[in-house]
């Protein structure tokens, strides 16, 4: 009997302890569970989202500033190259091929004059009186003349024949005369044939010289103006906002091609010195106009870049300021977390870990509270069966407690059921809120999350819903079974 009394007393003491702990645990845990998302997690998440946006904005501003700095470098290089173009336009470098054409024409006229006054026999006599030298066949290219007058005359004759591309064999009426030691006048071509030969030889030379001058002029513009500028504009690092500059280069290329096609093979423009000068002016004027327009667009680009740079510098400055403010806010939130959590826990958990542990902790807590509620019910069932008269608990709910999951009469049972249902639903709501906050933190924060949280958060959510639903069903089932079997538990005292 003493042993039974000790067991009953022990169950009674345990029931009282668990009854006190149940209320305290629920109050403390519920308070902390509400304060953590309200005071820490939600504000920290919002600040993390803002921080991520500001960091991205700062990165964008830095990239844009880098692009502007590249464009500024582009402008410097273009201005340097444009100064070279301006210098060449000013010193008339573009007219050099046509100026040379004037000189070549004068040399051609002098060469023609020297030959037309001579007979073929005189030319052969001069050639035969000296040792043969290699004659150049390149148009307009002179050999170095010796210092003595006779050698100079011979050298000029060789140059003249080279300019007109006249071979020695063409001065004879037949090939056999070439090997003969002495020549008769009858062996040479006549004066009329000589003049016809000269006219035939000279007929195509001016056009060839003129066409070469045109091509040299165009190539000079390409080499000194178009290609250097085009190379700068088309560099990958300078790919921003160069369409206008690129289109101007294409326009200049089109103008030069049109000028070349218009004058190639045409003899009108090189017939007089004035015509040649007008062509020099035309090319130079085209380059001047292009240079002025190009310069205008570069200046406009510089102004745009200055405005853009100021805008992005301002954005970068604001982004840096926002980042500093958010970092200060996050520091304050961490301090709030320290004040909410117990002192021993502050050194064990960080706010980033709190995001990931919060939903799991709520599941553990609801399982723990369910275990405590089941122990409380078990101890009271033993006490009620052994000590409490039948129907006393039903008639007087104060004979038990509001945390005991038994049938305590209509009013007492409703109070207990509502209390447990409200607490379970409150924890369920906090669990759903915490899971949502964790998902948002994983998606928006730059901090690294645990792999199972990133991969299995959805599974944790549905596991939690199952546990909370089972808790509600368990509460209702416990109360219903006790109501159904209440007469079995009541035993009158002896």
pLDDT at residue 429, rounded to an integer: 92
Q: Are 172 and 121 in contact (CB under 8 A)?
A: no
pLDDT at residue 148, rounded to an integer: 65
The burial of 44, by beta-carbon neighbours within 10 Å (0-12 exposed, 13-18 middle, 19 or more buried), is given as: buried
| 88-91 long-range Cβ contacts below 8 angstroms, 24+ apart | 88/224, 88/225, 89/284, 89/287, 89/288, 89/291
Query: How much is the CA Rg of the chain, to the nearest whole Å?
Result: 53
Please state the pTM of the whole predicted model: 0.47
pLDDT at residue 143, rounded to an integer: 45
**What are the tens digits of pLDDT across the range 285-336?**
777 787 777 777 777 777 776 777 777 678 777 777 777 777 777 677 666 6
Task: State the Cα angle at 282 between 281 and 285, rounded to 5°.
Answer: 80
pLDDT at residue 390, rounded to an integer: 60
**In sequence order, what DSSP letters do the residues of 112-130 get, joined into one string?**
HHHHHTS-HHHHHHHHHTS
3-state secondary structure at position 188:
strand
Report d(CA 117, CA 115) in Å as an integer. Answer: 5
Report d(CA 284, CA 227) in Å as an integer. Answer: 17
DSSP-derived secondary structure letter, 145: P
**In sequence order, what DSSP letters do the residues of 404-469 get, joined into one string?**
S-S--HHHHHHHHHHHHHHHHHHHHHHHHHHHHHHHHHHHH-SSPPPHHHHHHHHHHHHHHHHHHH
User: Which residue numbers in the chain have pLDDT < 70?
Assistant: 1-9, 12, 18, 51, 65, 67-68, 70-71, 89, 92, 94, 129-150, 153, 175-186, 236-242, 244, 305, 312, 330, 333-347, 386-399, 446, 486-494
pLDDT at residue 138, rounded to an integer: 35
% of the chain residues with pLDDT over 70: 76
Q: Are 125 and 187 in contact (CB under 8 A)?
A: no
**What are the tens digits of pLDDT across the range 15-71?**
777 677 777 888 878 887 887 788 777 777 777 777 677 777 777 777 776 766 766
Q: Which class in CATH covers the domain with range 67-97+206-312?
A: mainly alpha
pLDDT at residue 365, rounded to an integer: 87
């Amino acid at each position: 009997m003493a042993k039974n009394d000790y067991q009953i007393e022990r169950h009674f003491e345990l029931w009282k302890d668990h009854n006190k702990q149940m209320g305290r645990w629920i109050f403390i845990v519920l308070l902390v569970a509400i304060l953590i998302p309200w005071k820490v997690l939600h504000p920290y998440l919002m600040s993390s989202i803002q921080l991520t946006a500001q960091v991205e904005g700062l990165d964008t501003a830095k990239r844009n500033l880098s692009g502007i700095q590249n464009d500024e470098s582009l402008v410097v290089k273009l201005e340097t190259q444009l100064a070279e173009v301006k210098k060449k336009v000013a010193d008339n470098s573009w007219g050099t091929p046509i100026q040379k054409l004037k000189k070549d024409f004068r040399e051609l006229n002098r060469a023609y004059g020297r030959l037309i006054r001579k007979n073929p026999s005189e030319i052969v006599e001069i050639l035969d009186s000296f040792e043969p030298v290699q004659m150049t066949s390149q148009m307009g290219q002179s050999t170095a003349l010796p210092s003595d007058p006779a050698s100079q005359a011979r050298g000029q004759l060789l140059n003249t024949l080279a300019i007109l591309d006249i071979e020695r064999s063409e001065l004879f009426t037949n090939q056999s005369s070439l090997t003969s030691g002495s020549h008769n006048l009858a062996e040479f071509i006549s004066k009329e044939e000589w003049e016809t030969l000269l006219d035939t030889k000279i007929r195509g030379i001016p056009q060839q010289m003129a066409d070469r001058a045109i091509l040299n002029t165009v190539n000079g513009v390409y080499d000194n103006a178009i290609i250097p500028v085009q190379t700068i504009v088309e560099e990958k690092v300078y790919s921003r906002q160069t369409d206008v500059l690129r289109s101007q280069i294409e326009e200049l290329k089109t103008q030069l091609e049109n000028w070349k096609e218009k004058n190639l093979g045409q003899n009108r423009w090189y017939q007089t010195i004035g015509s040649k000068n007008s062509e020099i002016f035309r090319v130079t004027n085209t380059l001047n106009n292009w240079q002025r327009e190009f310069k205008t667009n570069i200046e406009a680009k510089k102004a745009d870049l200055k405005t853009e740079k100021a805008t992005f510098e301002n954005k970068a400055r604001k982004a840096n300021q926002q980042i500093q403010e958010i970092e200060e806010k996050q520091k304050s939130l961490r301090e709030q977390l320290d004040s909410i959590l117990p002192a021993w826990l502050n050194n064990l958990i960080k706010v980033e870990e709190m995001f990931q542990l919060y939903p799991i902790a709520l599941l553990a807590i609801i399982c723990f509270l369910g275990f405590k509620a089941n122990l409380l019910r078990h101890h009271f069932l033993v006490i009620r069966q052994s000590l409490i008269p039948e129907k006393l608990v039903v008639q007087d709910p104060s004979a038990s407690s509001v945390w005991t999951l038994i049938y305590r009469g209509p009013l007492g049972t409703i109070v207990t059921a509502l209390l447990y249902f409200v607490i379970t639903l409150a924890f369920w709501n906090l669990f759903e809120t915490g899971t949502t906050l964790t998902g948002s933190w994983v998606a928006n924060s730059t901090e690294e999350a645990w792999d199972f949280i990133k991969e299995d958060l959805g599974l944790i959510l549905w596991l939690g819903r199952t546990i909370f639903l089972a808790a509600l069903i368990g509460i209702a089932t416990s109360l219903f079974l006790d109501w159904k079997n209440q007469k079995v538990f009541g035993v009158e005292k002896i």
